[in-house]
Structure 1
Amino acid sequence: MNNWFKRNSVHFAVIAVFIVISFAYVFSPLIQGKALYQHDVMQAQGSQKEIMDVKAKTGKAPLWTNSMFGGMPAYQIWAQYPSNITTHIITVVTTVFPNPVGTILLYLLGAYMLLSVLRITPWAAAAGAIAFAFSSYNFIIINAGHANQALAIAFFAPILAGIILALRGKYLLGASLTALFLALEIRSNHLQMTYYLMISILLLVGFELYRFIKENKLQPFLKSIGYLAAATVLAIAVNAGSLWTTYEYGKETTRGQSNLTKHTNEPAAGLDRDYAFAWSQGISECFTFLIPNAYGGESGTDALGTGSHIAKVFEDRQVPADQAEAYVHQLGFSTYWGEKTFTGGPFYFGAGVCFLFILGLLIVRGSVKWWLLATVVLTMLLSFGKFFTPLNYFFFDYVPLYNKFRAVESILAVAGLCFPLLAFLAVQEILRNEDKKFIFNKAKIALYITGGISLLFILLPDMILSFKAPNHQQSIDSLTRALNNDATFANSLVNALVQDRIALARHDAIRSLIFIIVVFGLIWAYLNNKLNATLVSLLFVVVTLADMWTVDKRFLNDSKFIAKEDYKEPVKPREIDQMILRDPDPHFRVFDLSMGNPFQNAATSFFYKSIGGYHAAKLKRFDELIDMQFSKSINHDVLDMLNVKYVISTDEKGQARMQNNGTACGNAWFVQSVKFAKNADEEMQAISSFDPKNEAIVDQRYKNFITEKGVAPAAGGSIKLVSYNPEHMVYESGSTASQIAVFSEIYYDKGWKMLIDGEEKPYFRADYLLRAAQIPVGNHKIEFIFHPNSYYAGEKISLAGSILLVLALGGAAYVENRKKGGEKKTV
């Protein structure tokens, strides 16, 4: 045991350094007892509020919630999946380490594992891990609150490590590790990132296949693929519950088939192309890989303070400095000038890393280099989206599942791993190659390329880029109108803004050039025996950390943390909320127009059951309803059928005001007539103007669910909600004739079942997206229970898969230990 610790002492030292770095990055706010404020996490808290309230009360989280969009499955909001072993692994990490320490540590450890598998010496591998972990996008998404995406990216590297081990002949160990980390990747529940990783893996397998064929070793390749295929199946089995429910739910969401064929902007299948490509990486924006502020950094005015060119324009007009800053903010100026609507920051891979990446292309040999290069090129081309249509439209239209994802620029997260991998493979080549003249000559070429680009940005930035946003002239025109038609002042301000953008790019170009020269100097010092291998590797750690850390602090810094009491209650009830919450009947819905777009904001869900919300995968029918009944004007009949009792808006002074909707239909009601529609288009047209309290619009496919006496116009009777749980609702009815009841609950037939007096009965869809059923004469107890087989059967498969995964890992550890014991005896 002592020998084992001694052999691995350097690895333990590296891990210790990683822990220190992870805590040090957020040390100051953590010791002050603060928590990281993340916008999307706040939105998630709102969407999860009802789920967590029920969980706290009953001990079980419901699989359905009515907190958003009238009601939706909780699978993509918050679900437990307790039979999945990876659920508990992630819970341990997030519980032991404060946010975002655990995520940073996972970035570092996963990348270090991969670099070690690639046989890079420990401290050089540590430097490479830091380069990946501190890639700016990885911190920007932490700041934004994309926690699942960050976790998914963190597991990229160890998955690749397992695959490479299997391809090298460590079949069981490699396959077991691949199964573990792929299972964790899938459990992170960001299928877009997993999909992008799979593209890179397919390229890796392709290059390895070529190498094995060339070396006439096809049989071991096929054996490794067999093991990896088994690992993939095992990882899928471990996540059967989440994957099955996601697959089932996905077909009913905005990612699935459209129900409408006329008068709609919805695509026939998948996402709308313009929506999917809205966040495409501008082609020349890739200069930010090397120079972070080449495109002005993040959206906003943070860099336009005292001393900026734009501030000077105000000063020349005798405007006080503090007032000038307020004007800059009010007038909507932004240092970012690229093609995206807005951005949280650039993709910065590190100046030193870019230098080493170019050097790696020149000195590293083997299939791994070509795989990394191919991945970088392909991910860059795909990130261009609408700016490189031949490839991207082909992928969108023909490559399976590609049209299910949006914000294609995020595929550069894969390139963010490839850059440091090849960069530090180059470092390893430097450390072991005895042809120092060859290395030095290639290093000079890399210096000329990266240093030359930086120098051009320093000397002639406006000859490389325009520094003018696509809407440059429109900005001048609108600013002129805002300044009482003072075109001279407007032009002066916009021209000053362009100069500020140039200054930001020039400053960062100087910065990048310094880091490039420092890294080149380290290589020169090593090649000239001024530094030994260990010392130069340690200096790479320091230089890489200094480079990446200082840029990341622009986006994720101490100002992003807030007091924990504010974090626990990010949205405080307003006076108007307190008034509405006094309503003795809590089972109504609210439509809140007072906080911007209600369908992009989950704040309302902190207090009410909302028909708005914030989610990228809402049900397709509800999304179509938004498009057809709310985008141009608000359809009051639809508000009534959704049981919207209160509408919150703003008055002319911007103050929130409340309107009580007295015509809301309630939780359930009997209708007097049924109108059948031929298809979804007719249904949508019919609900554009109808009386939901007395009339139900039903697709003709459900005619068999209604008997001839199913509608009794003057039968009277009553039906009411008597017990509420998001996944178990109980109603009581009484009538003198069989009648059609409509429930103000969203229709979703993948798990909901209806019981009348304990016996399961059929129900159907009415009014485009609500539930309806024929209720027999007399007094009855009606229950709607959400019990999706995809979840419960999936959990059983997950449990079996989790057990097999533990056995596989244990078996791999045993086999590896025996092999090492046998090697010692041989020696």
Structure 2
Amino acid sequence: MKNWFKQNSTHLFIVISFIILVFFYFSPVWQGKSLIQSDVIQAQASQKELFDYKAQDGKAPLWTNSMFGGMPTYQIWASQGMNVGTYVLNVLKTVFPPPMDVVLIYLLGAYYLFSVLRVRAWLAALGAIAIAFTSYNFIYIEAGHMNKAYAIAFMAPVIASVILCYRGNKLWGTLSLAIFLALELRVNHYQMTYYLFIGLLVYVIVELYYALKEKQLKAFLQASGLQAIALILALGVNASALLTTYEYSKLTIRGKANIVHVDTKENTKGLDKSYAYEWSQGVGESITFLIPNAYGGASNGELGEKSEVVKFFVSKGVPQGQAVEMAQGLPTYWGEKPFTAGPWYFGAGVFFLFILGLFIVDGKLKWWVLSTSILITLLSFGKNFDLVSNIFFDYFPMYNKFRAVESILVIVAVLVPLLAVLAVNELINRKEQIKEVDKKLLYAFIAVGGLSLLIALLPDLFLSFKNTNHQALIDSLAQQVGDRTIANELVAALLKDRASLASADAFRSFAIILITFLMLWFYIKQKVGANVVIGILTVVFLVDLWSVDKRYLNDASFVDAKATSKQVFMEREVDQLIRMDKDLSYRVIDLTTNPFSDARASYYHKSFGGYHAAKLMRFQEIVEHQFNGALNEDVLDMFNVRYLVTSDQQGSQQRVTRRSSAAGNAWFVERVTFVKDNSQEMQAISSFDPKKEAFVHEEFKSKINAERLMRPSNAEIKLVGYHPDHMEYEYSSPNDAFAVFSEVFYDKGWKAYVDGEEVPIIRADYILRALQLPGGNHKVSFKFEPQSHVIGDMLSLICSIILVAGAAFVIFKKVKSAN
């Protein structure tokens, strides 16, 4: 044991250093503070009902009625207690509270990657910092995209494991891949994992090329086969989430549309292209890889007291303090994205070393990094250069399931530092063998440093500081101030500020590149040693990336945790009034915000709206067809929307309206009308009385005995027991009748029973559940019992046991061989 500590003392010291870094960056966490994260707030609101029942029952329900009329909870939160990865992540979160844990995984995962690449320890630490502190890793945390952040954190060790397998380390490489891929999948952000697979697919192609070239096809196939085993095992460990998600996804906005598109005459599959491409990286905006504020930073970037805009306001007689407040309302960001939380910045010195690496690094890794970086960057352009994106969107499996294509740059954010560190490693180990190394270093400096200096000196020559909405901005300001001349002068001042921001950061980047260049120059001229170079570059890169990250995630981002929760979810007077109604299952629509992109109403109510990236397609189609510019009162009735919350034009006064026409939890209709397709069904519910008539697709005709149905007379049905995934009704009817329930139809788990005997569930009114019920006095129950969940849990448990046993076996063999 003593020898082990001695042999690994450097690694242990580096790990401790990483922990210290994380503690310092997130010091507010230890003061009882937490981040204000918009996505986390939305998640907390949507999860409120399921956690209330979890506290009551000891387990979370599998269905919630708190959003969109109902949806599976395993798309909002799931315990995944049969998945061994759950317990690994829980331990990390217990020792290092979020978001400290995710940044520590960033660092340790990247350090593992560089260690696998046989880079000396302190250079590996530098590389880990370069990968971990890339700007968007922290921007995602600030925004509350925590699952995305965890998925990014596990990318580096997954890549390392694949490299290990192809290097012939069969046992540890396979186990390592199974473990890290299982964790990657466990954090449940399949978009990031999908992008990682694209990058790894290119790597496998590069490996195949070299295997054929070097006549090593057998070794390649063996390594690929072992990775396939690791992949299957990782998928099995995560079966509890994957099976339910796969089943659900086919019925969501990421699946196939139910209504034929008017223009194409086809049912679209996947997301709408304009929606998927809405957040596309600008082609010119990629300069932010090198100069963070080249495009103005974040949309809500703040202009200081010395800004030209503030000076302009002051010159017009506006007091200094008010001028600063007014300036902060103007957009410094001038790219084409609807808005942005910040730039994709990889570090000026890191990017310089990446360019240098293209000239001095040899071998398959360089060609993989270069080809993948080019492909990924082209894909990130989306609508701004759609030649490559459209090919993938139209033909590459599952690519059209994901939106915000700029986020694929997370792969480049790993690859750029990877090649940068390999460049330094190459200089340290082989500088004598690199032809004209000093010229290559100088040329890279002139190219990258020269570009930064030119933008610093002549920003207007290279950047326009205007986007396609520039004239619209002037028109809007002219309308606000009532004077177009003043509006033009104000925007001119804003353009000067945008240029100043770009120029200042360009000078900053040039200074960092210059220091990096000089350290490497002195090294190849034998003026300083390798350890000095690594030490200084580590400090420079850390200060560079840390300071940019602090622009977007800093101490001001943290507030008192308890106060934040109370403030965000403060019960309003309208909420209190609604909650006085003790009925079991009415719904609420809150129009004080966009009800279909805000989940906060779900915290206190069963909301008709909500927020989720994968709504059921049928519900989204209802929104698009029945709530496009106006409320369809008939649809609100059939969903039992009893309360409507509105506000005045200023948003200061809110009021609640009780809707007496809401149909209730369940009702018998007088007649059933069959329609031939989804379009007819959607059109039918545009204007109808849901209490009297139900529209049913012809595909359900065989499940209805129309001859036995009679007009209900003195019939009554009521909800007598409510649980999100188990609802009980009692009814009385002198004859067979057709009952409609104000619950979303989802045939992947819901089952209906009359006095304990299962009966078929029929879809009515495009999206609701319905039953043909026999006459008499009976009990009806709905139970949500998805088989995909049961089977998934079983597979997760089996594969988790296999993974743990495999890990124990490999560790045993390692220890035994060491002794």
Match 1:777 to one of 761, 775, 779: 775
Equivalent of 1:438 in 433, 436, 442: 436
5+ unaligned residues in a row in structure 1: which ranges? 822-827
- For 1:536 and 1:288, how far apart are their aligned partners in 2? 26
Secondary structure class of the residue paired with 2:67:
coil
Q: CA contact under 8 A between 1:357 and 1:426: conserved in structure 2?
A: yes
1:615 aligns to 2:615 (yes or no) = no
Letter in 2 for 1:110: G
Q: Distance in 2 between matches of 1:32 and 1:211?
A: 53
From 728, 734, 744, the equivalent of 2:726 is 728
Report the Cα distance in structure 2 between the residues aligned to 1:264 and 1:148, rounded to whole angstroms.
Answer: 37
Distance in 2 (alpha carbons) for counterparts of 1:818 and 1:525:
46
> Cα offset for 1:439?
2.9
Give me the whole-angstrom Cα distance separating, in 1, the residues matched to 2:707 and 2:643. Answer: 35
Matched, 1:541 2:532: no
**Alpha-carbon distance in structure 2 between the residues aligned to 1:562 and 1:348:** 26
Q: Is 1:585 the counterpart of 2:561 in the alignment?
A: no
Query: AA paired with 1:651?
Result: D
Q: Which AA in structure 2 matches 1:759?
A: E
User: How many residues are paired up?
Assistant: 815
Deviation at 1:532, TM superposition (A): 2.5
Correspondences of 1:748-787 after superposition (within 5 Å): 748-787=746-785
| Partner SS for 1:760 | strand
1:212 and 2:211 correspond: yes
- Cα distance in 2 for partners of 1:388, 1:606 equals 41
Tell me the equivalent position of 2:74: 75
Residue ranges of structure 2 left out of the alignment (5+ in a row) = none
Which segment drifts farther, 564-573 or 659-668? 564-573
DSSP-derived class of the 2:436 partner: helix
| SS in structure 2 of the partner of residue 450 of structure 1 | helix
**Given that residues 353 and 419 in structure 1 are in contact (C-alpha distance below 8 angstroms), is that contact kept between their aligned partners in structure 2?**
yes
- 1:394 correspondence with 2:391: yes
- Greater shift in the superposed pair: 71-80 or 764-773: 71-80
AA of the residue aligned to 2:417: P
- Tell me which amino acid in the other structure corresponds to 1:397: D
- Structure 1 letter corresponding to 2:345: Y
> Which residue in the other structure is 1:794 paired with?
792
Q: What residue is the counterpart of 1:825 in the other structure?
A: none
Q: Secondary structure at the match of 1:600?
A: coil
CA deviation after TM superposition for structure 1 residue 366, in Å: 0.5
The aligned amino acid for 1:300 is N
- TM-superposed CA distance for 1:469, in Å, is 2.1
How far apart, in 2, do the equivalents of 1:34 and 1:382 lie? 38
Q: Does 1:20 align with 2:20?
A: yes
Cα distance in 1, alignment partners of residues 431 and 817 from structure 2: 33
SS of 2:342's partner is coil
Which deviates more, 810-819 or 14-23?
810-819
Residue 322 of structure 2: aligned partner:
323
Q: Which residue identity is paired with 1:56?
A: A
The CA deviation at 1:567 is 3.6
What residue in structure 1 maps to residue 470 of structure 2? 472
Query: C-alpha distance in 1, partners of 2:325/2:370?
Result: 46
Is it true that 1:679 corresponds to 2:687 in the alignment? no
Letter of the 1:479 counterpart: L
Q: What whole-Å deviation, never above 9, does each CA across 1:160-184 have from its counterpart, x for those lacking one? A: 1111111111111101110111111
- Give the corresponding residue for 1:295: 295
Which of 744, 747, 752 does residue 746 from structure 1 map onto?
A: 744
Residue 622 of structure 2: aligned partner: 625
Q: For the Cα contact (< 8 Å) 2:259–2:267, is it kept in 1?
A: no
Q: How does 1:308-707 map to 2 (within 5 A)?
A: 308-329=307-328, 332-435=329-432, 438-484=436-482, 486-569=483-566, 570-595=568-593, 597-654=594-651, 655-707=653-705
| d(CA) in 1 for partners of 2:205, 2:157 | 19
SS in 1 for 2:451: helix
Tell me the equivalent position of 2:168: 169
CA apart distance, 1:534: 2.5
Residues 610-646 of structure 1: per-residue CA shift (max 9 Å, x gap)? 1111111000000000000001211000000000000
1:337, 1:470 within 8 Å by CA — same for their partners in 2?
A: no
Secondary structure of the structure 1 residue equivalent to 2:747 = coil
3-state DSSP class of the match of 2:304? Answer: coil
Provide the C-alpha distance between the structure 2 equivalents of 1:819 and 1:220, rounded to a whole number of angstroms. 24
User: Does the residue aligned with 2:559 lie in a helix, a strand or coil?
Assistant: strand
Give percent identity, aligned residues only: 52
1:390 CA drift (Å): 1.6
Moved more, 732-741 or 101-110: 732-741
What letter matches 2:516 in structure 1? Answer: V
1:245-264 aligned within 5 A: 245-261=244-260
Shift of 1:649: 0.9
1:440, distance to aligned residue in structure 2 (A) = 2.6
| Secondary structure of 1:510's aligned partner | helix
Partners of 1:213 and 1:566 in 2: CA distance: 62
Q: Deviation per CA, 1:743-784: give whole Å up to 9, x if none.
A: 100000000001111111111100110000011111111111
Structure 1 residue 714 displacement after superposition: 4.0
* Matched position secondary structure for 2:722: strand
Deviation at 1:267, TM superposition (A): 6.1
Alignment of 1:698-717 (within 5 A): 698-717=696-715
SS in 1 for 2:709: coil
Amino acid at match of 2:493: A
Greater displacement, 249-258 / 714-723: 714-723
Which string of whole-angstrom CA distances, capped at 9 and with x for unpartnered residues, describes residues 348-376 of structure 1? 00001011101111111110010011111
Counterparts in 2 of 1:207 and 1:820: CA distance versus 1, 3 Å:
farther
TM-score normalised by length of structure 2: 0.98
Give the conservation status (yes or no) of the 8 Å contact 1:264–1:628: no
The answer as to whether partners of 1:255 and 1:269 remain within 8 angstroms in 2 is yes
Deviations 1:526-550 (A, max 9, x none): 2333432223222222111101000
| Bigger shift: residues 647-656 or 170-179 | 647-656
Name 1:278's counterpart in structure 2: 278
**Aligned residue in 2 for 1:158:** 157
Shift of residue 264, structure 1, vs aligned partner: 8.9
Aligned equivalents of 1:352 and 1:192: distance in 2? Answer: 29
- In structure 2, the CA distance between the partners of 1:653 and 1:524, relative to structure 1 (3 Å rule), is closer
Distance in 2 (alpha carbons) for counterparts of 1:817 and 1:378: 42
Question: 1-side partners of 2:708 and 2:146: how far apart?
Answer: 50
Q: Deviations over 1:247-273 (max 9, x none)?
A: 100000001111111559996111001
Q: Counterpart of 1:90?
A: 89
Partners in 2 of 1:251 and 1:322 — Cα distance?
Answer: 53
1:129-148 pair list within 5 angstroms: 129-148=128-147
CA distance in 2: counterparts of 1:359 and 1:137, whole angstroms: 23
Alpha carbons of structure 1 residues 350 and 638: separation in structure 2 relative to 1, 3 Å? same
SS of the equivalent of 2:206 reads helix
Query: Counterpart amino acid of 1:407?
Result: A
2-side partners of 1:494 and 1:262: how far apart? 42
How far apart are the structure 1 equivalents of 2:263 and 2:635? Answer: 18
1:432 deviation in Å? 0.8
CA distance in 2 between counterparts of 1:429 and 1:530 reads: 18
What is the distance in 1 between the residues matched to 2:745 and 2:718? Answer: 18
Further displaced range: 311-320 or 546-555: 311-320
**Is the 8 Å Cα contact of residues 591 and 612 (structure 1) preserved in structure 2?**
yes
Determine helix, strand or coil for the equivalent of 2:613.
Answer: coil
Once the two structures are TM-superposed, the CA of residue 818 in structure 1 deviates from its matched residue by 4.3
